[in-house]
Amino acid sequence: MKITYDRAANAAYIQITDQIEAGSVARTIAVNENDGPTDSFNLDLDNEGKLLGIEVLSARSQLAAKVLEAAEIIG
């Protein structure tokens, strides 16, 4: 598992698999519990429906500070 964090976008990505090859994401499911434009998650699935990764939007309000501190900073 690998976690990356983009400070400018305030978005984190939790990669479940060792590596996500280009084109291997067959479907992305948007999950929004608050019915608003923020605080949502995107689930990336392969063609068999297996979870590859999770994008966390508004990451500072959704994830513990320790998780973001340990994440690889990108962007």
Cα angle 21-24-29, degrees, rounded to a multiple of 5: 125
What amino acid is encoded at 73 in this protein? I
Average pLDDT over residues 55-64: 94
Structure tokens at 67: 């998780």
Residue-wise pLDDT tens digits, 6-51: 999 999 999 999 899 999 999 999 998 766 656 689 999 999 999 9
C-alpha of 38 from chain center = 13
Distances (CA, A) of 73 to 29, 39, 40, 44, 57: 24, 20, 20, 20, 15
Entry pTM: 0.89
Q: How many Å apart are CA 29 and CA 31, to the nearest integer?
A: 6
